[in-house]
């Protein structure tokens, strides 16, 4: 038998073992807890770190237009070295691209211009549509009598305003039976696709500010804060426009973010006034505040050329030149597109672009008494001809009308006239169109060839076609395929 002392010793030893095991288990448990807490703290710290990274404001990106002769793959390799990103293709040939980088413009331009294959690089500058302060309300804006205008019901104040007589438009339409043909592309703020005066001649167009089909400017207005314009009152809705709108909408339309809202619809309305059967392609490159990226304007020019536009109206300008803008216009004119642009509202002898390019007809503004408007730039270049630009009554979004001031509204008189010239000369190009339109009413050297005379321009173009030497194709046909006896 085991003695009591031994039993007691064994019991004490067992008790010590139990306590030791408990202490060990407690130690292990505490160790696990500490490790788990450490891991949790580490995970929380990492989470906080990544959240901090994700909420840090993104570095401001500078936009550039880059021409790489080797195309997109080569430009991607260059950007991998310089830290830039290729955003989108601009031209049709696949050599001009929009590139962004957080690097300062001077450093990046110096670096990328030294790379192999780079033919040109420039800042993607901002452009502005033309506006000028309104003056006296034209009486025609209150003339809401409906008139038949080539099968459409329009306001008499629109169809028979003083400007149409000043440029001899009715005489040209009746003498030569011209109403316009071909597509006039309007690069602007977009056009109201539902306007009853324009709806039948509008093509779908494109919105380059949203990268989507359709050149409407109605998406720029929040319908929840603006009622449908019902034409109750004449009000100044922005710096250069008086429109017939609901009085409740004036404050909304006067906001700075809508400073140029309606500009494109107004320009399109003037084109339509001159050439009522020509098609109009709305290309929205400008925001409702009147600003645009040069890259979007370039994309619009290439789009218009690719989609068979025959006339390009550009009622905007900037004082700096651009090699890529010049290249885009050269491409357009090489395809038979006739280019027209406003000369700007600086009131000085200033060369602006695109009107200042040799293959663009720059248009100045004249007043009702057929003198230079006080706000219009002047001199050659950029002025080729002048056209009325004060209190011009035209279409405005939501089915109403407005009056505008500025060379923006002079240019579409010439663009519409080019569409009329195509009615008598289907082979019209920049040179022949400019030559025909140079048959204007001379005023002063500041206004180039003078005030646009539509009748003289159409007559000159028609005379050119009539006096052109006849082809011998008919004789050749008879030689190889003699008529049956």
* Domain segments of the chain as ranges: 62-124, 139-467
Q: 479 falls in which pLDDT band (50, 70, 90)? A: very low
Question: Which residues 6+ apart lie within 8 Å of 89 measured at CB?
Answer: 72, 96, 97
pLDDT tens digits, 308-337: 999 999 999 999 889 999 999 999 999 999
Contacts of 110 (CB under 8 A, 6+ apart): none
Tell me the CATH architecture of domain 139-467: 3-Layer(aba) Sandwich (3.40)
> Which stretches within 56-91 are classed as H helix?
72-82
**Residues forming beta bridges with residue 120, ordered by sequence position:** 67
Distance CA(160)–CA(394), nearest Å, equals 11
pLDDT at 53 over 90: no
Calpha distance 89→105 (Å, rounded): 20
Q: How many CA atoms lie within 13 A of 69 on its CB side?
A: 7
For 173, residues 6+ apart whose C-beta sits below 8 A from its C-beta are 179, 420
Handedness of CA 200, 204, 205, 209 (dihedral sign): positive
pLDDT, one tens digit per residue, over 281-302 is 999 999 999 999 999 999 999 9
Q: Which of 4-13, 84-93, 212-221 has the lowest mean pLDDT?
A: 4-13
The yes-or-no verdict on residue 415 having pLDDT over 50 is yes
Cα 86–chain centre separation: 21
pLDDT the model gives residue 474: 43
Portion of the chain with pLDDT greater than 90, in percent = 71
Residue-wise pLDDT for 385-411, tens only, equals 999 999 999 999 999 999 999 999 999
Q: In terms of pLDDT, which residue wins out, 140 or 1?
A: 140
Please say whether the beta carbons of 440 and 453 come within 8 A: yes
Q: Which fold has domain 62-124?
A: Alpha-Beta Plaits (3.30.70)
Highest mean pLDDT among 7-11, 236-240, 320-324, 446-450: 446-450
Which element (helix H / strand E) includes 162? helix 162-166
444 CB contacts (<8 Å, ≥6 apart)? Answer: 372
What is the reported pTM?
Answer: 0.83
Which residue has 């020019």 as its token pair?
301
Answer for the pair 341, 317: CB distance below 8 angstroms, yes or no.
Answer: yes
Q: CA 450 to CA 440: how far, in whole Å?
A: 5
* Averaged pLDDT score across all residues of the chain: 84
Average pLDDT over residues 372-378: 96
**Which residue reads 């770190």 in tokens?**
49
Burial label, 377 (beta-carbon count in 10 A; 0-12, 13-18, 19+): buried
d(CA 229, CA 245): 5
Once rounded to an integer, what is the mean pLDDT over residues 437-457? Answer: 98
Residue 198 has pLDDT above 50, yes or no: yes
Cα separation, 76 vs 472, whole angstroms: 54
- pLDDT tens-digit readout, 341-352: 999 999 999 999
If we measure between CA atoms, which residue out of 429, 483, 485 comes closest to residue 461? 429
> Do 62-124 and 139-467 agree at the fold level?
no
| CA–CA separation, 368 and 161 (whole Å) | 11
């Amino acid at each position: 038998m085991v003695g009591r002392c031994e039993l007691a010793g064994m019991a004490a030893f067992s008790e010590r073992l139990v306590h030791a095991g408990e202490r060990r288990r407690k130690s292990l448990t505490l160790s696990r807890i500490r490790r788990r807490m450490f891991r949790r703290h580490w995970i929380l710290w990492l989470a906080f770190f990544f959240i901090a990274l994700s909420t840090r404001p993104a570095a401001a990106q500078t936009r550039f237009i880059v021409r790489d002769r080797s195309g997109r793959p080569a430009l991607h390799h260059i950007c991998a070295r310089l830290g830039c990103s290729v955003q989108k293709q601009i031209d049709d040939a696949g050599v001009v691209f929009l590139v962004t980088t957080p690097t300062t413009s001077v450093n990046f331009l110096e670096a990328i211009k030294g790379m192999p294959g780079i033919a040109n690089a420039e800042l993607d500058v901002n452009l502005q549509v033309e506006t000028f302060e309104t003056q006296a309300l034209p009486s025609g804006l209150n003339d809401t009598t409906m008139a038949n205008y080539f099968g459409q019901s329009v306001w008499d104040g629109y169809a028979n305003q003083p400007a149409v007589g000043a440029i001899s438009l009715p005489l040209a339409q009746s003498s030569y039976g011209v109403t316009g043909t071909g597509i006039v592309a309007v690069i602007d703020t977009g056009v109201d696709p539902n306007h009853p005066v324009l709806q039948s001649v509008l093509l779908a167009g494109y919105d380059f500010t949203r990268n989507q089909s359709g050149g409407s400017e109605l998406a720029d207005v929040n319908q929840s804060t603006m009622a449908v314009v019902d034409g109750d009152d004449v009000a100044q809705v922005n710096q250069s426009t008086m429109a017939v709108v609901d009085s409740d909408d004036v404050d909304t339309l006067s906001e700075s973010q809508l400073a140029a809202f309606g500009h494109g619809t107004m320009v399109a309305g003037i084109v339509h006034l001159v050439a009522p059967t020509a098609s109009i392609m709305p290309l929205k490159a400008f925001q409702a505040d009147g600003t645009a990226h040069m890259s979007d304007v370039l994309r619009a020019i290439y789009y218009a050329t690719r989609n068979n536009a025959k006339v390009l109206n550009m009622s905007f300008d900037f004082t700096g030149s651009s090699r890529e803008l010049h290249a885009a216009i050269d491409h357009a004119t090489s395809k038979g597109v006739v280019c027209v642009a406003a000369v700007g509202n600086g009131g000085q002898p200033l060369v602006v672009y695109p009107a200042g390019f040799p293959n663009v007809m720059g248009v100045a503004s004249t007043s009702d008494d057929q003198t230079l408007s006080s706000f219009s730039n002047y001199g050659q270049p950029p002025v080729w001809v002048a056209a009325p630009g004060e209190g011009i009554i035209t279409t405005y979004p939501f089915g109403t009308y407005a009056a505008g001031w500025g060379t923006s509204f002079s240019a579409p008189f010439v663009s519409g006239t080019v569409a009329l010239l195509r009615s008598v000369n289907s082979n019209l190009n920049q040179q022949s169109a400019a030559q025909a339109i140079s048959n204007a009413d001379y005023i002063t050297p500041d206004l180039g060839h003078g005030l646009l005379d539509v009748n003289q321009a159409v007559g000159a173009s028609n005379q050119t076609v009539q006096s052109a030497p006849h082809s011998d194709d008919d004789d050749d046909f008879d030689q190889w395929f003699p008529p049956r006896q």
